[in-house]
A and B are shown apart, each in its own frame.
Chain A
Amino acid sequence: MTNIAHKLRVAENLRLTSRTWKMVLEADHEGIITAPGQFVNLEVEGKFLRRPISVCGVDGRRITLLYDVVGEGTYEMSQWPVGYVADVLAPLGNGFDPSRSGDSPLLLGGGIGVAPLYQLARELVALGRRPVVILGFNTADDVVWEEEFRQAGAEVYVATVDGSRGTKGFVTDVPACTDPARTYFYACGPLPMLRALSDSMPIGGELSLEARMACGFGVCMCCVVQTADGPKGICKKGPVFRKEELIWK
């Protein structure tokens, strides 16, 4: 049995770009997050449902999140001062499997989907792998976490839809994405990006899905995806699925 209810203290809450914020939550003990790619579900005052947010990094008792302010709930989160005690469900979701990566895996992030790839990159480097990270954004002003990935020891490329930074286009337009030396891929981003990768990538991989959730821990069936093994809850059986599991409609 795992207690998934925690009170975590906000240690940092900073605006990084016009839309993206970084929040560091501090626990009184280590080990709450057990795999890269898991998420937390945050209670927000005035909202009945929680806000599910991917874990970007884990450093001892500190859990780092990146989040976009897209509505009232995430706006409310952006107003939490340092010292605010958040009601948090964690760990949620399965997470990525670093053991499948091979020597030189690709990590493909779109927008705020770059967040969960960071802890994965660090764990891959620790395992002696050489991760190649491609970060895709709409425009140069949206680019986040590029330097952090580089400092973690990854080879990093950036693509922007408007060409204002790095390769013009999507992550798939970066030549490193189609390099035959790549052994496996891990991706997180908007559904159209994940679907395109699922259809086009010749190598095996894992995709982290996003959906509007109610519970976040596998009982309400509000977030589901069709898989080869029947419908599965994204929050509990995912958010990470292997490419061959998913059936896109």
Chain B
Amino acid sequence: MEMNVNATAAPARDLSVTLSGVRLQNPVIPASGCFGFGYVMAEYYDIDCLGSISIKGTTLNSRFGNPLPRTAECPAGMINSVGLQNPGVDKVVEVELPKLREVFHQPIVANISGFSVDEYVEACRRIDGAEQVGIIELNVSCPNVHGGGMSFGTSCESVAEVTRAVKAVTTKPLYVKLSPNVTDIVSIARAAEDAGADGLCLINTLLGMRIDVKTRRPVVANVMGGFSGPAIFPVAVRMVYQVSKACSIPVMGCGGVSSARDVIEMMMAGATAVQVGAANLRDPYACPKIIKALPEEMERLGIDRLSDIIGCV
């Protein structure tokens, strides 16, 4: 697949954005959990066209995750309950990241989750030293594990505690990935900012559920799961707008993004970069298609520099 995003646009439109000093050639980042550790996708296209990659949620120790089935769907989205399956941070650093480095030559986003403050701290400390990690994304919003993940992201106190503790042992910009499953996302975002977060990522999935009416049982073995896809895009835009107005640190917008126009809308709401999740699972070429379409969409909307529109609403 030919991926020279600026070749056809004259004059060249500037797609680059900067997150806490980390410059991305464009704002499009596959979201954690929807792109594995990245290198598998390099079998299908040249992934160097991407702005960055947020790797599969990584924990201190290896995890098998939840029982199968792990997925369900609706017309405009899907539910997943993978449960943070990953080989553990040491294997990620020793095995997965070097494989990614062969096919992706830009800074990556390291998504880290945990079940205690100590686990978050230790996993972040171990991945912080990997040279290709540009940003650490603290996942306090995974809805699919008990006693960890989202339970850290639903109170201001625990978000602040884990943010502060991780910030103390890391050198890379620290972005906190927030859960939409809260009453007031602005107060959680402020708590992360006050505790030293360099940026925010939102939103993670909404807690959802489907039932098989023939068997009268939940479709997903873990009963509930994280709901993502185009259906949640308006929720994500709203929360990115609210949070970016209330906070002064950069935001990565995430949730239901499936087109270049969605990317632009999310940036107008206040996002500096935009993550693409479920769209990758339906169409493996979703991200390169979006990147290719961005200059044309910018031209249509009279945008020369993408970074000019951040938070313009």
Residue among A46, A47, A224, A236 having the largest count of chain B Cβ atoms under 10 Å: A224
The answer on a CB contact under 8 Å between B46 and A221 is no
Distance of A218 from chain B, by nearest CB (Å): 5
* Chain B residues within 8 Å of A213, by CB: 71
Contact present for B71 and A1 (CB under 8 Å): no
- How would residues 5 to 40 of chain B score, 1 for a CB under 8 Å from any chain A CB and 0 otherwise? 000000000000000000000000000011110001
A46–B75 Cα distance when bound, in Å, is 5
The reply to whether A222 and B71 contact each other, CB–CB distance below 8 Å, is yes
- Which chain A residues border B71 with CB–CB below 8 Å? 49, 212-214, 220, 222
Q: Does A4 contact B (CB under 8 A)?
A: yes
> Which residues of chain A are within 8 angstroms of B285 by Cβ–Cβ distance?
5
Chain B residues near A1 (CB-CB < 8 A)? 1, 42-46
Q: Which of A211, A220, A236 contacts B33 (CB 8 A)?
A: A220
Q: B74 contacts the other chain (Cβ, under 8 Å)?
A: yes
B68 touches A214 (CB 8 A): no
In the complex, chain B residues 27-75 whose Cβ is within 8 Å of any chain A Cβ: 33-36, 40-46, 56, 62, 64-65, 68-71, 73-75
Tell me whether A231 and B85 are in contact (CB under 8 A). yes
- How many interface residues does A have (CB within 8 Å)? 29
Cβ contact of B82, chosen from A46, A47, A50, A222, cutoff 8 A: A222
Q: Do B68 and A219 touch across chains, with their CB atoms under 8 A apart?
A: no
**CB within 8 Å of B: which of A179-223?**
211-215, 217-223
With a CB–CB cut-off of 8 A, which chain A residues contact B74?
A: 48
By size class, the interface of chain B is 35 or more
Distance (Å) between the CB of A35 and the closest chain B CB? 15
Given contacts A3-B1, A48-B78, A89-B284, contact A224 B46 (CB under 8 A): no
Q: Which parts of B205-231 form the interface with A (CB within 8 Å)? A: 229
Tell me the number of A-to-B contacts counted with CB atoms below 8 Å.
97
A47 to B230 CA separation, bound complex (whole angstroms): 12
Contact flags B260-283 to A (C-beta < 8 A → 1, else 0): 000000000000000000101111
Contact check, A48 vs B229: say whether CB atoms are below 8 A apart.
Answer: yes
Residue ID in chain A nearest B230 by CB atoms: A48
Q: Is B107 an interface residue (CB 8 A)?
A: no
> Residues of B contacting A49 with CB < 8 Å?
71, 73, 78, 281-282
Q: Which residues of A contact B44 (CB under 8 A)?
A: 1-4, 217
Give the complex CA separation of A43 and B285 in angstroms. 14
Between A212, A213, A222, A230, the greatest number of chain B beta carbons within 10 A of the residue's beta carbon is seen for A222
CB atoms of B282 and A48 under 8 A apart: yes
**Docked pose: A85 CA to B61 CA in angstroms:** 46
B65 CB contact (under 8 Å) in A5, A46, A231: A231
B36 touches A212 (CB 8 A): no
Q: Nearest Cβ distance between residue A197 and chain B, in whole angstroms? A: 20
Is A226 among interface residues, defined by CB-CB distance under 8 A?
yes
Q: Which residue of chain B has its CB nearest to the CB of A46?
A: B75
Question: In the assembled complex, which residues on chain B have CB atoms less than 8 Å from the CB atom of A211?
Answer: 68-69
Residues of B within 8 A of A3 (CB): 1, 44-45
Tell whether B311 is near chain A: CB-to-CB under 8 Å.
Answer: no
B46 near A219: Cβ-Cβ < 8 Å: no
Residue of B whose beta carbon sits closest to that of A191: B68
Contact B73–A47 (Cβ < 8 Å): yes
Q: Which of A43, A49, A214: most chain B Cβ within 10 A?
A: A214
In Å, the complex CA distance between A230 and B35 comes to 19
- Which A23-58 residues have C-beta < 8 A from chain B? 43, 46-50
Of B46, B56, B64, B281, the contact of A215 (CB 8 Å cutoff): B281
User: Is there an interface contact between A50 and B282, defined as CB atoms closer than 8 Å?
Assistant: yes
Contact string, B128-161, partner A, CB cutoff 8 A, digits 1/0? 0000000000000000000000000000000000
What separation, in Å, do the CA atoms of A2 and B278 have in the docked complex? 21
Q: Which residues of A contact B46 (CB under 8 A)?
A: 1
For A220, give the chain B residue with the smallest CB separation.
B281
Closest to A5 in B: B285
Q: How far is the CB of B111 from chain A (nearest CB, A)?
A: 13
Asked if A219 and B40 make an inter-chain contact with CB atoms under 8 angstroms apart, the answer reads yes
Asked if A48 and B76 make an inter-chain contact with CB atoms under 8 angstroms apart, the answer reads yes
B43 touches A2 (CB 8 A): yes
**A230 partner residues in chain B, CB cutoff 8 A:** 62, 87
**13 more CB-based (< 8 A) A-B contacts, given A2-B43, A47-B75, A222-B71:** A1-B42, A2-B44, A49-B78, A49-B281, A213-B71, A215-B284, A217-B40, A217-B284, A219-B35, A219-B281, A220-B33, A221-B85, A222-B80
Task: Offer 5 A-B interface pairs, CB within 8 angstroms, sorted by A.
Answer: A219-B35, A222-B82, A224-B64, A224-B68, A231-B64
State the A residues within 8 Å of B (CB). 1-5, 43, 46-50, 89, 211-215, 217-224, 226, 230-231, 236
Give the 3 A-B CB pairs with smallest separation, nearest first. A219-B36, A212-B69, A215-B281
